[in-house]
């Protein structure tokens, strides 16, 4: 963690970063300039105004993410139990002053571009700015009473992040009025998170040697798992993997689904699959498997019914029909139906133009969003009608290794790796474009 010098250290790092960055950009045509860290009311303006960038720490606020991250620091008697970090966000005003026309705007533009390209003050940047080899900021920040140096800032858990804060005209007006200074072009930045933590000795409780009489603790409930609901409820949907496959999170045509839940017995059960492109849910019959799981088989890719199943996200629920009672429906659980390339895509060249042929199941619908990548190169597909096959004119770089073909339809990606536990990992041959 950092020492109390961390606030001054951050200001020194930003000042050093701006000064070095502007010097490296060679701004000699705009004349001489300086980078300072003064209150705006102490800067001379008017006829003798100098060109400069001024960094002013105008506010310090607690960081909400770290505010309650540690245990209380004292017990009931006031004895220190821990050294919780003081987590702070620092708010800076970056102001540009110009001795001539457009100088302030030039300096501010370069400074904002520099901070935009440096959103994180890495540990290397902190060490370089606060090292003994950079004596200017170090000489201004002496060690604290415990001998800690400002460079300890590089050892804190959090890295420092720089975020622009775009203040409104009203907020800027209030700030400059409170400082009783003349307004100049200004942009605000937040630097987070600075963690200041002490190293004072703390009181620690003795270790527990025995939990109670006969070394037994208090009686507790053997389980905190709530009882299952009494109404029909789906708790999970699993995809039964094929031979040599590992469990998957996305289903494909021809897969068997295992639906688990509570109160799913005692009647005829139908699975309903709702999709944004369908007016009515698709219905499939079910069977009862081991331990009361409900089995549902999706239509195979070659079946005529498969054309009615668009890829993408589905909401799955069960409709239970019991004799003499109204139909009951379970809660809806999301399921992704992934596209699958079958057979493997091919590419042919004729007349100086290459044509990529893709066959996909299920077919792609015109209203669906489709993204296609061959290796790392994007390929544009225009879908005018529901289709399971595409011929696309492409221009791909020559490759002597197979290229994975990634197809995303409405957020559902084709599965490139079937066995995630095999060593080494390999792509599914049907999802790969072999070299021409």
Per-residue pLDDT tens digits for 389-420: 988 888 777 777 888 999 999 999 999 988 88
Which of 139, 170, 196 is where one domain is finished?
196
Residue 219 is assigned to a structural domain of this protein: no
Q: How confident is the model at residue 435 (pLDDT cuts 50, 70, 90)?
A: confident
Dist CA 436 CA 430 (whole Å): 16
Dist CA 358 CA 433 (whole Å): 10
Do 287 and 398 fall into the same domain?
Answer: no
Do 350 and 315 fall into the same domain?
Answer: no
Do 117 and 258 fall into the same domain?
Answer: no
Do 375 and 320 fall into the same domain?
Answer: no
Residue 182 is assigned to a structural domain of this protein: yes
Residue 133 is assigned to a structural domain of this protein: yes
- Count of structural domains, the chain: 3
Per-residue pLDDT tens digits for 11-40: 999 999 999 898 888 787 788 899 999 999
pLDDT at 138 over 60: no
pTM of model > 0.85: no
Do 412 and 358 fall into the same domain?
Answer: yes
Q: Which of 237, 271, 254, 281 is nearest to 340 (CA)?
A: 254
Dist CA 412 CA 47 (whole Å): 65
CATH number of residue 386's parent domain: 2.60.40
Do 163 and 35 fall into the same domain?
Answer: yes
Q: How confident is the model at residue 238 (pLDDT cuts 50, 70, 90)?
A: very high
Residue 108 is assigned to a structural domain of this protein: yes
Do 292 and 383 fall into the same domain?
Answer: no
Q: Which of 204, 115, 148, 151 is nearest to 10 (CA)?
A: 151
Do 362 and 424 fall into the same domain?
Answer: yes
Per-residue pLDDT tens digits for 256-282: 999 999 888 878 999 999 999 999 999
Residue 218 is assigned to a structural domain of this protein: no
pLDDT at residue number 413: 93
pLDDT at residue number 244: 73
Do 190 and 244 fall into the same domain?
Answer: no
Residue 210 is assigned to a structural domain of this protein: no
375: containing domain: 340-433
Strands 328-329 and 282-285: unpaired
**Using an 8 Å Cβ cutoff, are 81 and 72 in contact?**
yes
Tokens 């009515």 sit on residue: 280
Residue 382 is assigned to a structural domain of this protein: yes
Do 124 and 187 fall into the same domain?
Answer: yes
Do 58 and 98 fall into the same domain?
Answer: yes
**Using an 8 Å Cβ cutoff, are 298 and 308 in contact?**
no
Residue 204 is assigned to a structural domain of this protein: no
| CB neighbours of residue 214 within 10 Å | 6
CATH number of residue 324's parent domain: 2.60.40.10
Which of 304, 337, 370 is where one domain is finished?
337
**Sign of the dihedral through C-alpha 75, 80, 83, 85:** positive
Do 27 and 104 fall into the same domain?
Answer: yes
Q: Bridge partners of 360?
A: 341
């Amino acid at each position: 963690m950092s020492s109390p010098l961390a606030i001054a250290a951050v200001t020194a790092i930003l000042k050093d970063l701006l000064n070095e960055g502007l010097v490296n950009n060679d701004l000699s045509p705009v004349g001489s300039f300086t980078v300072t860290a003064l209150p705006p009311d102490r800067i001379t303006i008017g006829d003798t105004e100098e060109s400069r960038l001024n960094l002013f720490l105008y506010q310090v606020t607690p960081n909400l993410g770290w505010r309650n991250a540690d245990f209380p620091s004292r017990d009931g008697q006031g004895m220190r139990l821990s050294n919780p970090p003081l987590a702070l966000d620092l708010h800076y005003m970056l102001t540009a002053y110009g001795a001539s026309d457009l100088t302030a705007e030039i300096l501010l533009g370069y400074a904002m571009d520099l901070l935009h390209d440096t959103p994180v003050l890495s540990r290397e940047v902190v060490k370089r700015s606060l090292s003994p080899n950079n004596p200017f900021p170090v000489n201004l920040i002496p060690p604290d009473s415990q001998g800690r140096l400002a460079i300890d800032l590089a050892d804190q858990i959090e890295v420092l992040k720089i975020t622009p804060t775009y203040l409104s005209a009203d907020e800027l007006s209030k700030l400059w009025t409170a400082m009783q200074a003349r307004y100049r072009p200004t942009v605000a930045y937040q630097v987070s998170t600075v963690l200041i933590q002490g190293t004072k000795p703390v009181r620690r409780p003795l270790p527990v040697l025995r939990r109670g009489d006969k070394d037994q603790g208090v009686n507790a409930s053997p389980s905190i798992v709530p009882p299952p609901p009494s109404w029909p409820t789906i708790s999970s949907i699993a995809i039964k993997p094929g031979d040599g496959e590992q469990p998957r999170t996305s289903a494909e045509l021809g897969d068997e689904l295992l639906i688990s839940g509570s109160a799913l017995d005692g009647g005829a059960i139908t699975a309903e699959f709702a999709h944004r492109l369908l007016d009515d849910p698709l219905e499939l019959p079910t069977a009862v498997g081991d331990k009361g799981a409900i089995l549902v088989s999706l239509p195979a890719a070659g079946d005529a019914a498969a054309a009615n199943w668009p890829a993408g996200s589905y909401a799955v629920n069960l409709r239970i029909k019991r004799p003499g009672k109204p139909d009951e429906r379970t809660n809806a659980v999301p399921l992704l139906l992934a596209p699958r390339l079958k057979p493997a895509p091919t590419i042919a060249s004729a007349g100086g133009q290459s044509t990529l042929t893709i066959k996909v199941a299920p077919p792609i619908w015109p209203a669906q969003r489709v993204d296609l990548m061959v290796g790392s190169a994007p390929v544009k597909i225009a879908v005018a009608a529901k289709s399971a096959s595409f011929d696309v004119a492409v221009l791909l770089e020559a490759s002597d290794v197979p290229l994975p073909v990634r197809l995303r339809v409405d957020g559902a990606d084709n599965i490139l790796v079937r066995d995630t536990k095999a060593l080494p990992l390999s792509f599914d041959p049907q999802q790969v474009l072999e070299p021409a």
